[in-house]
Every structure is written in C-alpha cells, then in structure tokens.
Amino acid sequence: MAYFYEEVSHTFSEYLLVPGYSSAECVPANVSLRVPLVKHKKGEPPAISLNIPLVSAVMQSVSNDTMATALAREGGISFIYASQSISAQAEMVEKVKGYKAGFVESESNIRPDQTLRDILTLKKEKGHSTVAVTDDGSSSGRLVGLVTSKDYRVSRLSPDTPVSDFMTPLESLNFARVGITLSEANNIIWNKKINALPIIDENGILKYFVFRKDYDTHKENPNELLDKNKSYMVGAGINTRDYEERVPALLEAGADVLCIDSSEGFSEWQSRTIKYIKENYGDRAKVGAGNIVDKEGFLFLAEAGADFVKVGIGGGSICITREAKGIGRGQATAIIDVADARNEYYEKTGVYVPICSDGGIVHDYHLTLALAMGADFCMLGRYFSRFDEAPTQKVRINGSYMKEYWGEGSARARNWQRYDLGGDGKLSFEEGVDSYVPYAGSLRDNLGVTLAKIRSTMCNCGAQSVAELQEKAKLTLVSSVSIVEGGAHDVVLKDNSAIPAK
C-alpha cells in the first residue's frame, strides 16, 4: 500500500508567529532583507543576492521586461516568461540589461520636419516635456536637436510651425558620448544647470538620456539590484524541451540567472537540463530548478547541481493541479520539510542551496511566515499581476478596475512544456485557470507597504535579518476559531460614506 505521511499538510493561514524580545536597536529601519539567490559554499558570499526576498513568477501575465525593470529597481528580480519564442524572450532580457541605472532610452521622439501640433500631441500621449529630435523620429536615430517646454509658446507659434524652426539644435546642446559614467553625467547636469543630457555614440546616434530628476529617484532606490556594469539584473525561465537552443540565446542576451519552469521538478528531464547547462557553461550560468515539496525532491535537485530550488505544487491562486490530479502538498508543510533538508545538506556538504517558496501566498504576512519557516525568498504571481507594470490589460468589471491574470497551465497560455512528462507536445487538460485580479496601482507603492509589514513583524520577533528571523522565530498552529478571532469580529464596521445623524 501507499506510504502515508503522519503529519497533516498545513497552509500558511494555519500558523501565527509568537512575538519575541525586541531590543531598542530592533526597529524597521535597521532590518536588512538581503538574502542569497544562488548556492554558495560555507564562508563564501553568494554570486548573486537579492536586496528584498521577492521574485516575480515565470508567467505570461506577470513577468515581462517592464516588470523586470520595475522590480529590479526595488531590489528583487523577475524571471521573464519562457512560453514565447526564444528571440522574443531574449529581446526582453536585452531590454532590461540595456536599461542601465540612470541611463534611459528616449520614449518621446520626433522628426525635424514634423510640427508643433505633433509635439503637443506627443506630450499629451507620453506626458514628457523633453522630446528628442532625430533624423528618422525614432529613439535610435541620429540626434539633431532637442525640444523642451522652454523652446516654444503655444500662444505665439502656429501649430503648423516645423520642429526644426524652434528646436535647440545639436550644436547648441550639452551632450556626452557613450562610455561616460553615471557619476560623470550627473556632474555635467549639475555644472551646466540642465535637466537632460543626451548620450550619443560616435556616429551621432542617440543611445540614452540622463535626467536630473532621476538623480533623486536613484537616491530614493538604495536597494536597486545591479550587476557590476550598473545594469539591472534579470532572470529568465526555461523549459526541459528546447533548452539547448534557448539557454545560449538567453545567456548571450545577458540573463543573470535562469529558472526551469516546471510544475514538477523531481524528474530526469530536469537533471538532464541542469547537466547540459553546467557542462557547457560551468558555474557562470546560474539555474534554479523545481518545483518539489519534500526532502527527496530537494536532495535530487541539489545533487543535480541546481543553484536554488523552488518549493510548491498546486498552491498558486490560478493553479488547479491539486483538483485536476490530486498532486501537491500544503505550502507551509512543504517549506518546513524542505528547509530541514536544506539545512542538513548544508551541514553535510558545506554548500548552501537557497529555497524559494512558490505559491500559497494570500496575505502579506504569509511572506514573513514563509521566511520564518526557512524560505530564502518567495516567488509571486498574483501579487505582481495586479500592478501597472504587469503586461496584462486593465479592464472594468462591474464598476471596478481589474487586471487579467491566467495560469501557465491554462488553455490560454498554451504552455504544455511546463507540464512536460516526455509525451506528446500538447496540453491534454488544464492545470490553470483564466481569471481577473483587482487592479492595485503601481508596484512601488504597494511593495513599499508589503515590505514595511515584513520589517515590522521581524522586529516583533526580535530579528534584524532573515537569517536571524529563521533562528529566533516561534510558530504556533491556530484553530479555525482562532483564525476568525484574528480578524475584525463582533462589531459593525463603519461605512465611510455614511451621513452623520443630526
């Protein structure tokens, strides 16, 4: 007969953290959320660390180049989805890597033979007051001038006035050549008292802008996740089918880390994929693997050479694997079991293999629970899909704004490779749904609140780092009645629109 686990499989909502002693120094401002992303030997720093313990999921409806740039700015990393052509995925990676911190591609561009009317239309569409004038009107054309709000007065110029008549020509501009550092560019901006500095190559082709306003922005983002060239770091998903073609293209495009996107990682297909990567690219190519839910699965992938291991099957909000196949495990129990295996492996081998909690996050406090239980970082789909930076449409449903969100196992995604068991190249049945999530606004605003909650809770536990949280945290199971007690109860909540009685 089958093997039976003695313990019940639990989810995050069945646990609470018990407060510990907090010293006067244990305040949110002193809490570090820096965690390792990839494996490392005892006493050695990891090749890649995250400044916040959050990554975005390998999903069509979550992780594209826009999300990757926004999340790297906050200190996390995105894994750009693999269920697209190799060239399209590589192009997204290149866009993120080409976006050097402080060096931005021009989004508002115009030809010199266009008119003031076109400038006003462009400003209304983009909201930018600085417009690059290039020979072909593209962001990669030859720079011939610049238009700012100081160059024209609508009341004194005809809408049909050519841009060439009122633009500031290149010979009158302050500009710099490709190769200048961000610090040098900012010095020019401050010394020349200008708001924007165009960066051109030896042929006069516009490459980037450096803006005065971004200086303050970068000061506000001390956690930016940058490589040694000051470019944003980005991950990319791969599958176990076309990795011999996809991996080289992604590494060439500049991907900092790869992740095998699969519903079940305890398989020969994953070990074959990892072996190919390590044999051909050595330790310079970092690759995470998964998903698994127990000790045996972790040890299999760790021995195969995975740089991190993803934990979780069937816990995602759009995942119906448990319903469709009866496969999975409660996310909290899975994390606790795998974290024990990770720690034993570290003691035995001296190699620390980070684990990623993937799925099961409903509330912000679940993130802190996952970290306390042993996860090094968490992969999120629904959480990030709600934001402006997610690649999906914002739609109005019954009077409320929503964002589209679908699973990689849904018919819409057509990502049969994620569920590959070596059979036919097709999705025989769905393991994900097509849905909506409430629109939440910008990533930065929402993420700030989430991270504030994590830091505050860590202080309640007397911890100023994730490692210290895992050492000091005390967890307790809660009953269904206790869960009800934890929310607002036995009161009539105020309706803010109510009219006071006279």
Beta strands in 303-347 (DSSP E): 308-311
* Alpha-helical segments (H) within 360-479: 364-372, 382-385, 443-460, 466-472
Of 202, 151, 141, 150, give the one whose Cα is nearest residue 175. 202
Rounded to an integer, what distance in angstroms lies between the CA atom of residue 299 and that of residue 290? Answer: 11
Contacts of 130 by beta carbon, 8 Å cutoff, 6+ apart? 108, 146, 147, 148, 195, 196, 209, 211
DSSP assigned state of 19: P
Return the number of other C-beta atoms located less than 10 Å from residue 29's C-beta. Answer: 6
C-alpha to C-alpha distances, 79 to 238, 254, 266, 413, nearest whole angstrom: 9, 13, 21, 16
Rounded to an integer, what distance in angstroms lies between the CA atom of residue 63 and that of residue 424? Answer: 27
| Angle made by CA atoms 23, 27, 28, in degrees to the nearest 5 | 150
Rounded to an integer, what distance in angstroms lies between the CA atom of residue 338 and that of residue 491? Answer: 41
Longest Cα–Cα distance of the chain, Å, equals 88
Q: Is the peptide bond before 446 cis (omega within 30 degrees of 0)?
A: no
Rounded to an integer, what distance in angstroms lies between the CA atom of residue 474 and that of residue 463? Answer: 12
Chain centroid to CA 40: 22
Give catalytic residue positions: 319, 418
Rounded to an integer, what distance in angstroms lies between the CA atom of residue 103 and that of residue 318? Answer: 37
Three-class secondary structure of residue 383 per DSSP: helix
Contacts of 266 by beta carbon, 8 Å cutoff, 6+ apart? 292, 296, 297, 300, 301
Rounded to an integer, what distance in angstroms lies between the CA atom of residue 462 and that of residue 365? Answer: 16
Q: Indicate the pairing of strand 474-477 with strand 15-18.
A: antiparallel
Rounded to an integer, what distance in angstroms lies between the CA atom of residue 176 and that of residue 246? Answer: 36
104: which strand partners? 209
Structure tokens at 371: 């970290």
